[in-house]
């Protein structure tokens, strides 16, 4: 297994170990086919702390059979009388995506999209995207994987609905064509119950494939996404909407701008909390210890030459003197100078070890 290495994008961004988590606002089709809405969503995502915005692109005729296109689709989330009309109503043309890409980049965001079919994949490549997404639904679609891998662009591969063997087969296809690859752990239910998130799979995927691993979350809340980052997710993708009450199943599993901003802030706070990996005592802790910890002090006035016994000593705040961690080393030691009651004891106040009295020591 190869060691994980960050995937570098054309813009200079790096996604992987040692890098800040790459936060993706998955706009998908939540713009509902309206370019102006998509533009406002990009602006809201930038303000909420996203690093990237992701869209979805479908060519309805390439994606669906004739029977599937003509199938009635009249539920509460429908945007057309047939499934084909519904899907087409949610699409933005490549010309609109090109304008949105330029707008996103002007705000410092990476723009990319999921390609659901070969024409969409080719169109996105022609737009000059620097990252491609393969949705969980297409993890087994070998022709699309091979076409994506041959483009030479980095690929983020979602792994929902997939077994480890299926993931291995998809990874092999993309790696055989040299595509830099990021795996995204995912559960493809909308919304995903917390008990189905299976977050420990993230480090499992990292160990198994030696690739950067991120998380594509479909839960309603924030905790699983934060847990994923704590477990090493280098990329975090969450569906994004301006209004969670809009029709469409994606809106219910999406974060609004306020929710995404809260998540982004918590991720950065979590990253700061995980930056130190060794057990250390910080300067702030030292100041607290000086105030709250205790020192060894004289329990009563003590004369020079006193052979210290337990009754001669006490422990009291502040913790600026000899630590009571050395309590068992003190009985039998000979005091060199007088101490007032509550006066802290120091090593320089004691005769060398050779001056320890026989036994436990008593009063002279």
Domain of 172, CATH number, reads 3.20.20.70
Which neighbouring-strand residues pair with 330?
A: none
User: Is 207 found in the same domain as 265?
Assistant: yes
Contacts of residue 294, Cβ cutoff 8 Å, sequence gap at least 6: 315, 316, 317, 318, 319, 324
d(CA 40, CA 43): 5
pLDDT digits over 126-185, tens only? 999 999 999 999 999 999 999 999 999 999 999 999 999 999 999 999 999 999 999 999
Within a domain: 71: yes
User: Is 216 found in the same domain as 116?
Assistant: yes
What pLDDT does residue 77 have? Answer: 85
CB 199 within 8 A of CB 224: yes
Task: Give me the half-sphere count of Cα atoms (radius 13 Å) on the Cβ side of residue 276.
Answer: 6
Boundary-marking domain end, from 273, 302, 322 = 273
User: Is 99 found in the same domain as 63?
Assistant: yes
| Dihedral-angle region of residue 157 (phi above 0 means left; psi in -120 to 50 means alpha; beta otherwise) | beta
Within a domain: 190: yes
Within a domain: 312: yes
Six token digits for residue 127:
């737009």
No. of H helices and E strands in the chain? 13, 12
User: Of 34, 181, 155, 56, which Cα lies nearest the Cα of 113?
Assistant: 56
User: Is 139 found in the same domain as 244?
Assistant: yes
CB 9 within 8 A of CB 131: yes
Six token digits for residue 318:
């502040």
Boundary-marking domain end, from 222, 255, 273 = 273
CATH of residue 308: 3.90.1210.10
d(CA 14, CA 106): 19
Within a domain: 2: no
What pLDDT does residue 167 have? Answer: 98
What pLDDT does residue 3 have? Answer: 61
Within a domain: 364: no
pTM, 2 dp = 0.89
User: Of 1, 17, 4, which Cα lies nearest the Cα of 234?
Assistant: 17
User: Is 319 found in the same domain as 259?
Assistant: no
Within a domain: 362: no
User: Is 303 found in the same domain as 262?
Assistant: no
The domain containing residue 320 runs over which residues? 283-355
Position 357 pLDDT exceeds 60: no
pLDDT digits over 213-265, tens only? 999 999 989 999 999 999 999 999 999 999 888 877 778 789 999 999 999 99
User: Of 192, 228, 238, which Cα lies nearest the Cα of 50?
Assistant: 238
User: Is 346 found in the same domain as 246?
Assistant: no
Confidence of residue 362 (pLDDT cuts 50, 70, 90): very low
Task: Give me the half-sphere count of Cα atoms (radius 13 Å) on the Cβ side of residue 323.
Answer: 5
User: Is 187 found in the same domain as 320?
Assistant: no
Confidence of residue 363 (pLDDT cuts 50, 70, 90): very low
Six token digits for residue 154:
């980095």
109 burial level (CB within 10 Å; 0-12, 13-18, 19+): buried
Six token digits for residue 172:
């092999």
Within a domain: 18: yes
Within a domain: 295: yes
User: Is 292 found in the same domain as 269?
Assistant: no
Q: How many domains does the chain have?
A: 2
User: Is 247 found in the same domain as 190?
Assistant: yes
Cα–chain center distance at 87: 32
User: Is 139 found in the same domain as 19?
Assistant: yes
User: Is 138 found in the same domain as 52?
Assistant: yes
Boundary-marking domain end, from 273, 292, 310 = 273
- CA-to-CA dists, residue 331 to 101, 208, 214, angstroms: 76, 57, 58
């Amino acid at each position: 297994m190869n060691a994980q290495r960050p995937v570098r994008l054309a813009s200079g961004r790096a996604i992987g170990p040692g890098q800040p988590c790459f936060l993706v606002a998955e706009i998908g089709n939540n713009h509902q086919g309206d370019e102006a809405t998509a533009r406002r969503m990009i602006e809201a995502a930038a303000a909420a702390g996203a690093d990237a915005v992701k869209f979805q692109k479908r060519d309805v005729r390439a994606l669906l059979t004739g029977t599937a296109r003509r199938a009635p689709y009249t539920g509460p989330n429908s945007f057309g009388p047939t499934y084909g009309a519904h899907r087409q109503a949610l699409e933005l043309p490549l010309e609109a995506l090109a304008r949105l890409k330029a707008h996103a980049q002007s705000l410092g965001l990476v723009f990319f999209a999921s390609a659901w079919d070969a024409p969409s994949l080719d169109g996105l490549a022609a737009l000059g995207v620097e990252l491609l997404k393969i949705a969980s639904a297409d993890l087994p679609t070998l022709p699309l994987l091979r076409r994506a891998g041959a483009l030479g662009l980095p690929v983020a591969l979602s792994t929902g609905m997939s077994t480890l063997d299926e993931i291995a087969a998809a990874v092999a296809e993309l790696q055989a064509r040299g595509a830099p690859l990021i795996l995204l752990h995912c559960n493809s239910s909308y919304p995903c119950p917390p008990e189905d998130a299976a977050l420990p799979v993230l480090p499992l995927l990292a160990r198994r494939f030696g690739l950067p691993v991120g998380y594509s979350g479909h839960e309603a809340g924030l905790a699983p996404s934060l847990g994923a980052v704590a477990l090493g997710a280098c990329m975090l993708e969450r569906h994004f909407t301006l209004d969670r009450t809009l029709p469409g199943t994606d809106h219910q599993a999406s974060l609004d701008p306020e929710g995404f901003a809260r998540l982004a802030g918590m991720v950065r706070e979590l990253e700061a909390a995980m930056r130190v990996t060794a057990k250390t005592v910080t300067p702030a802790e030292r100041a607290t210890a000086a105030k709250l910890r205790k020192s060894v002090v004289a329990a009563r006035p003590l004369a020079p030459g006193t052979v210290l016994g337990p009754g001669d000593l006490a422990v009291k705040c502040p913790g600026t003197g000899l630590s009571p961690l050395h309590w068992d080393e003190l009985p039998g030691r000979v005091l060199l100078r007088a101490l007032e009651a509550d006066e802290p004891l120091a090593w320089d106040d004691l005769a060398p070890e050779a001056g320890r009295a026989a036994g436990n020591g008593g009063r002279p």
